[in-house]
Amino acid sequence: MKVLVFIEQRDGKIKSSAHEALTVGAKLSGSAANMAAVIVGSGVAGSASQLAGWGVDTVYTVDGGDLANYNVLTYASGVEAAIKAFSPQLVLGVASPMGRDLFPRLAARLDGGILTDLVSIDAAGNDITGIKPMYSGKCLAEVATAGSSINFATIRQNVFAANKPNNGSATASAIPAAASDAKLKTVEIRKGKSTKPDLTEAVVIISGGRAMASADNFKILHECGDVIGATVGASRAAVDSGYATHDMQVGQTGKTVNPNLYIACGISGSIQHMAGMRTSKTIVAINTDKDAPIFGVATYGIVADLFQAVPILTQKFKELLK
Ligand SMILES: Cc1cc2nc3c(=O)[nH]c(=O)nc-3n(C[C@H](O)[C@H](O)[C@H](O)COP(=O)(O)OP(=O)(O)OC[C@H]3O[C@@H](n4cnc5c(N)ncnc54)[C@H](O)[C@@H]3O)c2cc1C
């Protein structure tokens, strides 16, 4: 199957989730000649080198000043041009906010089938089958495309493990950006204040639960996070109680994360929370209740009051990292 993978970037830096899509694409396409990538943006002409070793021979680059800020119309035109050049049977991406916006529009433009937010994906002839969680993960739907000449699919972030790159190369093929006659303009993109990576990209996360008891108390997690470069997350109970914002929520109805280190502070370990973080490489749980379910998935457990344990950890990390 010929697969074209859409590569998401910010300021020319490829999102790590693109590697997950490339890994899935490599499995479905079976060879580097059958898989290509497309990257759209401003200053992305040289990005092909960042994709060397990721299983693609050709990287279509659509570069233009008008493409500096994401705009669904101009980006869809860029991907459409790459589709015309490569004639894939499947266009694959990630169910990120951008993927959720872009892929349905592309499928509508090209009259293709579309499966979104997949946690499992397979080829069936020219069609695609997959599994997607529905109703906040209360059930899993088996879904399939049905006979379109082109299909589109997005995978859920942090579910498919990315391969390690090999020593292969990738060649750039520039596609001129079409003159923008878009009826919609992106005037400004306001970045969040945080300098830390988004939870879905974070390598280290420290999260707080209901036990944080106030928004102000999250300060101790931010202090610890600043020392170890961790992004701060939260359980839904903490978000619903107004202690943390929704973009910080980890879990089934929040973000799926896959860091090297996840520190859960005052989080009991509900099924819904663990659905979003249980694949973290190392999990440290701090909880006063030694029987809390979170200890069942934790690599290291600390049975203690988080308000005592976290400042001690912060101090120790400072000493170790100075
Ligand atoms: C459809 C649906 C979707 C959901 N989606 C999500 C989701 O995406 N993410 C999510 O997190 N939840 C989700 N939930 C909610 C989930 O069921 C739990 O209610 C929630 O995860 C509990 O959050 P918590 O662990 O912070 O709170 P609690 O379960 O109340 O746990 C608090 C923990 O803190 C411990 N504790 C108390 N004081 C201290 C202290 N001083 N120091 C250390 N430990 C202390 C307690 O022993 C306890 O284990 C969802 C629920 C439903 C029904």
CA of 131 to the centre of ligand 1 (A): 27
Give pTM, 2 decimals.
Answer: 0.80
What's the CA-to-centroid distance between 231 and ligand 1, angstroms? Answer: 19
Q: Is 115 left (phi over 0), alpha (psi -120 to 50) or beta?
A: beta
* 156 Cβ below 6 A of ligand 1: no
Radius of gyration in angstroms for the set of CA atoms belonging to the chain, rounded to a whole number: 21
pLDDT in tens, 52-103: 999 999 999 999 888 999 999 999 999 999 999 999 999 999 999 999 999 9
- Could you tell me if the CB of 207 is within 6 A of ligand 1? no
Angle, CA 10 vertex, CA 122 and CA 194 arms, to 5°? 110
The H-assigned helical ranges of the chain are 17-29, 72-86, 97-110, 219-228, 236-240, 271-274, 306-321
| Percent of the chain topping pLDDT 70 | 99
**Phi and psi at residue 61, in whole multiples of 5°?**
-115, 125
Instruction: Tell me the best of 140, 207, 235 to mutate to test the pocket of ligand 1, counting ligand atoms within 8 Å of each CB and taking the most.
Output: 235
Q: What is the CA angle 74-76-77, rounded to 5?
A: 65
Please give the angle made by the CA atoms of 30, 129 and 168, to the nearest 5 degrees. Answer: 20
Q: Where do the H-state alpha helices sit in 250-289?
A: 271-274
Residue type, 287: N
Probe ligand 1: pick from 158, 217, 267, 312, max atoms within 8 Å of CB? 267
| Ligand 1 contacts CB of residue 238 (under 6 A) | yes
d(CA 44, CA 12): 6
Q: Considering only CA atoms, which residue is closest to atom 37 of ligand 1?
A: 211
Say whether pLDDT at 144 is over 90: yes
What is the spatial distance between Cα 150 and Cα 145, in angstroms, rounded to a whole number? 10
pLDDT in tens, 266-299: 999 999 999 999 989 999 999 999 999 999 999 9
